């Protein structure tokens, strides 16, 4: 068995790992590289292998940095099947269609400003061709055959709905090689998705290290902080703006708000708005796969207390629905994209509220360097919104504990649940984070650790039975 790394090598985006076993080639993920402008140039570079030779893609989850280059793979000749859980398949369709729209807008913007005709990385047609490759939906724990002597098992990674760790096993006459890809792992203590399944014993483990060097603030502290912020803002008669990405954190917040609503936390006359068509479409998928939720949310559902539809919540699908939110005077809690204020409907709400000292802007996710979100988190006194310089008077807050990613403690706990592998390969982390994690791995007895370079290839020795 050989494994090579064509993305997320010493960085966090572009996950794409090639496994050669049983005379065939398989990919684990085929994600987008995401730089400051969302659609990094690196995506148009060659894959580093021939897509026509790949017989299947095993997709761990629907985040863009794991599925975003699939349509490009298909466009360049991939004809195999894409294997994923049913929830990942449905969410990937939404994520890729959105990506195709953004790529198209990106090209139109370039054409307007540079007058040269660029073509998008891929189009909606390529996305539809990609979705046709999802022939096999796989359940957690089910063993699927990839080739004679090669099979794979998906296990719940607890990161986002449908997310999985994937183990590939090659069995020869008197030897066996087992490689486990962690995928992105969920963080503990969040009251939303079921926790990750215990990992299976493996000879080689390829592991994400996004937060390998630090621990999050506890989830309970973070929810308490958010609750205080909302009540203070409403007491002043202001509005609360929460920029969010469409997947996961939005649904998690809605679930929290539903619980708080039942407890009588929200004052009379206050309203919650979900102003994001993509988030609303994703929410529909969440309802379809409610068996993945943890016990608390399943209990709400069984009592017909739907976390995604309740009186105080308005879903704004059309732009008219979105505009109508402006008519409400105070005590509005608005969830809209984009999560880093690099566009999206939230920009219109921010334009209206930026100089309102009674209102609050609350960030619940990581803000990349170069984004408006980051400027605001860093305390900018004036910012540009729609080309106009504006003074910032809105109250700003950053709450750290809502991450969908495992922190250092969670990653180590996950390692403890399996026997020590012969080799650990660290990916999906900034250099500092991977080095930080390498230093603590001896705590769980792991001593053979490597950090592959982009394009690096390793031959894995078989274990004789």
Long-range CB pairs of 256-260 (<8 Å, 24+ gap) are 256/191, 256/223, 256/226, 257/312, 257/313, 257/333, 258/300, 258/305, 258/306, 258/307, 258/308, 258/310, 258/313, 259/300, 259/307, 260/227
Shortest Å distance, C-beta 159 to Zn ion: 6
User: For residues 240 and 404, which CB has a smaller minimum distance to Zn ion in the complex?
Assistant: 404
By DSSP bridging, strand 204-208 and strand 240-243 are unpaired
Nearer to Zn ion, 91 or 146 (CB): 91
Looking at the Cβ atoms of 70 and 347, the one nearer to Zn ion is 70
Residue reference for tokens 């996710």: 365
Interface ranges with Zn ion (CB under 5 A): 63, 184
Using the minimum distance from each CB to Zn ion, give the nearer residue, 193 or 331. Answer: 193
Our CB check for Zn ion shows the closer of 247 and 316 to be: 247
**Residue 279 · residue 250 · CB < 8 Å:** yes
Q: Where are any strands of DSSP class E within 22-171?
A: 24-28, 54-58, 81-84, 136-137, 143-147, 150-156, 164-171
Strand 449-450 to 332-336 pairing:
unpaired
* Cβ neighbours of residue 158 closer than 8 Å, sequence gap 6 or more: 185, 186, 193, 194, 195, 196, 197
The SS3 call for residue 246 is: coil
Q: How far from each other are the two terminal CA atoms of the chain, in whole angstroms?
A: 16
Compute the least distance from the CB of residue 287 to Zn ion, in Å.
21
- Least spacing, CB of residue 392 vs Zn ion, in Å: 31
- Residue 61: CB minimum distance to Zn ion, A: 6
What is the phi/psi pair of residue 82, to 5°?
-105, 125
The CA distance from 373 to 395, in Å, is 13
**Nearest residue (CB) to Zn ion, 167 versus 403:** 403
Output the smallest distance, CB 82 to Zn ion, in A.
17
In the bound state with Zn ion, the residue whose beta carbon lies nearer, of 164 and 335, is 164
3-state secondary structure of 302: helix
Shortest Cβ distance from residue 88 to Zn ion (Å)?
11
Question: In angstroms, how far apart are the furthest CA atoms of the chain?
Answer: 73
Neighbours of 361 (CB within 10 A): 26
Give the shortest CB-38-to-Zn ion separation in angstroms. Answer: 15
163 or 395: CB nearest Zn ion: 163
Q: How far is the CB of 350 from Zn ion (least distance, A)?
A: 26
């Amino acid at each position: 068995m050989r494994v090579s790394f064509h993305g997320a090598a010493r960085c966090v985006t572009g996950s794409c790992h090639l496994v050669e076993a049983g005379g065939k080639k398989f990919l684990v993920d085929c994600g987008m590289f995401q730089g400051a402008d969302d659609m990094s140039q690196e995506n148009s570079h060659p894959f580093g292998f021939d897509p026509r030779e790949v017989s299947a893609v095993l997709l761990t989850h629907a985040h863009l940095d794991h599925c975003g280059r699939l349509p490009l793979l298909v466009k360049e000749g991939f004809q195999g099947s894409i294997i994923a859980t049913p929830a990942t398949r449905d969410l990937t369709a939404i994520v890729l269609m959105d990506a195709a729209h953004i790529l198209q807008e990106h090209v139109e913007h370039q054409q307007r400003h540079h007058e040269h005709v660029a073509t998008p990385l891929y189009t909606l047609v390529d996305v539809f061709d990609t979705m046709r490759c999802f022939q096999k939906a796989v359940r957690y724990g089910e063993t699927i055959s990839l080739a004679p002597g090669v099979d794979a098992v998906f296990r719940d990674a607890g990161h986002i709905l449908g997310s999985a760790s994937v183990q590939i096993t090659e069995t020869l006459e008197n030897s066996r090689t087992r490689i486990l890809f962690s995928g992105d792992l969920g963080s503990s203590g969040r009251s939303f998705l079921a926790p990750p399944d215990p990992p299976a014993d493996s000879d080689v483990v390829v592991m994400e290290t996004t937060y390998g060097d630090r621990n999050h603030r506890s989830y309970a502290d973070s929810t308490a902080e958010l609750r205080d912020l909302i009540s203070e803002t409403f007491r002043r008669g202001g509005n609360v703006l929460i920029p969010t990405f469409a997947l996961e954190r939005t649904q998690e917040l809605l679930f929290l708000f539903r619980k708080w609503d039942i407890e009588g936390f929200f004052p009379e006359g206050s309203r919650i708005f979900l102003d994001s068509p993509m988030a609303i479409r994703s929410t529909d998928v969440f309802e379809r796969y409610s068996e993945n939720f943890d016990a608390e949310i399943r209990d709400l559902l069984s009592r017909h207390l739907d976390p995604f539809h309740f009186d105080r919540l308005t879903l704004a699908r059309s732009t008219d629905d979105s505009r109508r939110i402006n008519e409400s005077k105070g005590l509005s809690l608005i969830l809209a994209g984009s999560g880093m204020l690099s566009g999206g409907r939230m920009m219109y709400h921010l334009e209206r509220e930026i100089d309102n000292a009674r209102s609050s802007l609350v960030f619940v996710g990581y803000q990349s360097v170069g984004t408006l979100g980051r400027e605001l988190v860093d305390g900018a006194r004036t910012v540009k919104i729609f080309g106009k310089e504006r003074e910032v008077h809105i109250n700003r807050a950053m709450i750290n504990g809502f991450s969908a990613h495992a922190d250092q403690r969670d990653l180590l706990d996950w390692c403890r649940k399996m026997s020590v592998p012969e080799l650990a390969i660290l990916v999906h982390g900034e250099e500092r984070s991977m080095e930080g994690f390498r230093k603590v791995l001896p705590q769980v007895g792991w001593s053979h650790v490597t950090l592959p370079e982009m394009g690096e290839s390793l031959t894995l020795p078989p274990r004789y039975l």
